């Protein structure tokens, strides 16, 4: 009999990818995805621990699930509650203590064991008060070897995890502790999964990794050949017929090599848009963050990409109020933003994470962080508007991936990851079509279908 599975995903795209793989793992047990927790037999919260707020949300959702689980039991049914992802890894048994109704706590590196964990929970009758199962070790085996070979179709724009974990240990970041050591999947496995995704309808693939440009996977086909870097992997992926667009995220400035820059010059399928987090424009703060590069090195890197491909646009991440950040440091961040000109960016107040070095250092006052964030966000918003405005009059290839809010409207992505709203027939869903951009807003642009087949002036 089919059982109902609800997965709530928090945080980054890596978690989104992991959630799709959890559903793949549980399908042979008869679980099919549903869209609400109320009706589910198994609820999984796939959590994020990157900032304090993200972790807090999990406990409030668990409170809501306790009510649902009790109500289900009162009618003779059963709801199994599982917590995975980075909060599960970081807090482990603490989750079972604070939320005893949780049946399973598992980490990002043990989710391939979910079918076994769920089966073990179901062996014990619901009426018997059993202690929740905890599986948050970093196993010797890699989960990628144990996941189902065929990934579920993801639609026209798919994500594919190629690298996981991180050895950089930035002062503020929990990822090295929750995701573990850096690991790259063999290139052959990545190519196989990409071919499957394309066969199932994907025309765009975003390669994922916590530090994706540290990728160093075993070479495809020839075991004695040298490992492949990300640039080489992109070249090989671009040869898959029907794969029109490639992206990758998230990169570290310190791991950009010549082959990656060259891929932006040589591979037309690689989109001219790069998310390259810099975090701060102050060398003093960058050193305290253990980022291992300077602000000028970042400026030079951007120039290298722009030389390789003139229409490159950039996005970044910023943290304001890292311990000890002064007004002078913050002014250096604003200067860097002014020098580069970002097409979009994410910015956050520093949030102390237990167990990380920065959490022990002297903290910047909350009001100061908030004031600096407001100034930075205003500047970044102005740059985003300016970039969107600069696209007016251009004809850009747009990959339509979802219906719009009004009937007769579709939404797609430009090469620069802008949402593009267009009046277009449903038949255009899943296709790559030239669009003349006519209007620009803060977070999206709008245009009309361009009928001339030879019209696209940027990359396809
Ligand atoms: N690996 C990427 C890199 O090298 O920058 C980013 C990983 S993290 C999932 C995404 C972003 O969250 C970071 O770039 C950083 O700006 C932000 N972030 C991470 N830890 C944070 C913290 N403790 N407080 C505030 N923001 C944080
Ligand atoms: Fe975290 Fe990224 Fe630094 Fe790794 S490189 S520690 S994932 S911020």
pLDDT (tens digit, 9 = 90+) per residue, 344-362?
A: 999 999 999 999 999 999 9
Q: Ligand 2 within 6 A of 230 CB? A: no
What mean pLDDT do residues 202-223 have?
93
Pocket test for ligand 2, best of 48, 50, 51, 175 (most atoms within 8 A of CB): 175
The pLDDT of residue 191 is above 50: yes
Q: Ligand 2 within 6 A of 117 CB? A: no
The pLDDT of residue 457 is above 60: no
| Residue of the CA atom closest to atom 14 of ligand 1 | 317
- pLDDT the model gives residue 150: 76
169 alpha carbon to ligand 2 midpoint, in Å?
Answer: 6
CA distance 345 to 367: 22
The pLDDT of residue 456 is above 60: no
Q: What is the pTM of this model?
A: 0.93
CA atoms within 13 A on the CB side of 449: 18
CA distance 408 to 448: 12
What mean pLDDT do residues 308-328 have?
97
Greater confidence (422 vs 149) lies with 422
What single DSSP character describes residue 261?
Answer: H
The pLDDT of residue 200 is above 90: yes
Handedness of CA 44, 49, 50, 53 (dihedral sign): positive
Q: Which residues contact 47 (CB under 8 A, 6 or more apart)?
A: 10, 11, 15, 54, 55, 58, 83, 84, 85, 86, 87, 88
- pLDDT the model gives residue 327: 97
Instruction: Give the position of tokens 């014990």.
Output: 124
Instruction: Give the position of tokens 């995903």.
Output: 9
Q: Extract the tokens encoding 426.
A: 């449903």
- pLDDT level of residue 205 (50, 70, 90 thresholds): very high
- pLDDT the model gives residue 455: 58
The pLDDT of residue 442 is above 90: yes
CA distance 435 to 76: 55
The pLDDT of residue 129 is above 70: no
The pLDDT of residue 265 is above 90: yes
Are 216 and 229 in contact by the 8 Å Cβ rule? The answer is yes
Closest CA to 448 of 460, 458, 434: 434
- pLDDT the model gives residue 453: 55
Number of the ligand 2 atom closest to the C-alpha atom of 279: 8
- pLDDT the model gives residue 56: 86
Which helix (H) or strand (E) element contains residue 444?
strand 444-449
Q: Ligand 2 within 6 A of 169 CB? A: yes
The pLDDT of residue 340 is above 70: yes
Q: What is the pLDDT of residues 292-309, one digit of tens each?
A: 999 999 999 999 999 999
Give me the percent of the chain exceeding a pLDDT of 90.
88
The pLDDT of residue 244 is above 80: yes
173 alpha carbon to ligand 1 midpoint, in Å?
Answer: 6
The pLDDT of residue 24 is above 60: yes
Give me the long-range contacts of 196-201 (CB less than 8 A, separation at least 24). 196/150, 196/151, 197/151, 197/153, 197/154, 197/158, 197/160, 198/240, 198/241, 198/242, 198/243, 200/152, 200/153, 200/154, 201/153, 201/155, 201/156, 201/430
| Residue of the CA atom closest to atom 3 of ligand 2 | 170
Number of the ligand 1 atom closest to the C-alpha atom of 12: 9
- pLDDT level of residue 125 (50, 70, 90 thresholds): confident
What mean pLDDT do residues 269-297 have?
98
- pLDDT the model gives residue 423: 96
The pLDDT of residue 421 is above 70: yes
Q: Ligand 2 within 6 A of 269 CB? A: no
φ and ψ at 42, to 5 degrees? -135, 125
What mean pLDDT do residues 380-384 have?
98
């Amino acid at each position: 009999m089919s059982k109902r599975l609800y997965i709530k995903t928090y945080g980054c795209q890596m978690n989104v990818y992991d959630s799709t793989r959890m559903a793949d793992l549980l399908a042979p047990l008869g679980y099919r995805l549903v869209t609400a927790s109320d009706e589910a037999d198994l609820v999984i919260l796939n959590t994020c621990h990157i900032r304090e707020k993200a972790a807090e949300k999990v406990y409030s959702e668990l409170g809501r699930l306790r009510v649902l689980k009790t109500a289900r039991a009162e009618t003779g049914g059963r709801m199994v509650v599982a917590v995975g992802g980075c909060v599960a890894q970081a807090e482990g048994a603490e989750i079972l203590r604070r939320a005893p109704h949780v049946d399973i706590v598992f980490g990002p590196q043990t989710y391939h064991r979910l079918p076994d964990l769920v089966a073990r929970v179901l062996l014990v009758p619901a009426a018997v008060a059993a202690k929740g199962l905890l599986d948050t070790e970093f196993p010797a085996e890699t989960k990628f070897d144990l996941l189902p070979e065929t990934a579920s179709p993801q639609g026209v724009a798919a994500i594919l995890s190629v690298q996981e974990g991180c050895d950089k240990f930035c002062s503020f970041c929990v990822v090295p502790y929750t995701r573990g050591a850096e690991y790259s999947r063999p290139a052959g496995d990545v190519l196989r999964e990409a071919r499957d995704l394309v066969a199932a309808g994907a025309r765009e693939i975003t390669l994922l990794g916590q530090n994706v440009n540290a990728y160093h996977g075993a070479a495809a086909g020839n075991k004695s050949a040298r490992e492949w870097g990300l640039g080489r992997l992109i070249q090989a992926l671009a040869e898959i017929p029907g794969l029109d667009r490639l992206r990758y995220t998230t990169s570290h400035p310190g791991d950009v090599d010549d082959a990656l820059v060259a891929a932006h010059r040589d591979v037309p399928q690689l989109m001219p848009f790069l998310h390259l987090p810099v975090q701060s424009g102050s060398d003093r703060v960058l050193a305290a963050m253990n980022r291992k590069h300077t602000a000028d090195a970042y400026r030079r890197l951007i120039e290298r990409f722009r030389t390789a491909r003139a229409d490159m646009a950039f996005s970044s991440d910023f943290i304001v109020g890292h311990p000890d950040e002064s007004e002078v440091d913050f002014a250096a961040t604003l200067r860097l933003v002014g020098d580069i000109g970002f097409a979009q960016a994410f910015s956050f107040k520093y949030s102390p994470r237990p167990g990380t070095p920065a959490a022990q250092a002297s903290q910047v006052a909350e009001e100061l962080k908030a004031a600096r964030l407001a100034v930075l966000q205003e500047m970044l918003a102005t740059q985003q508007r300016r970039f969107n405005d600069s696209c007016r009059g251009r004809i850009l290839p747009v990959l339509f991936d979802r219906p719009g809010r009004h009937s007769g409207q579709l939404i797609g992505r430009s090469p620069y990851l802008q949402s593009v709203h267009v009046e277009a027939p449903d038949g255009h869903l899943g296709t790559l079509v030239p669009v003349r951009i006519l209007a620009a807003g803060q977070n999206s642009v709008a245009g009309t279908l361009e009928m001339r087949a030879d019209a696209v002036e940027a990359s396809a």
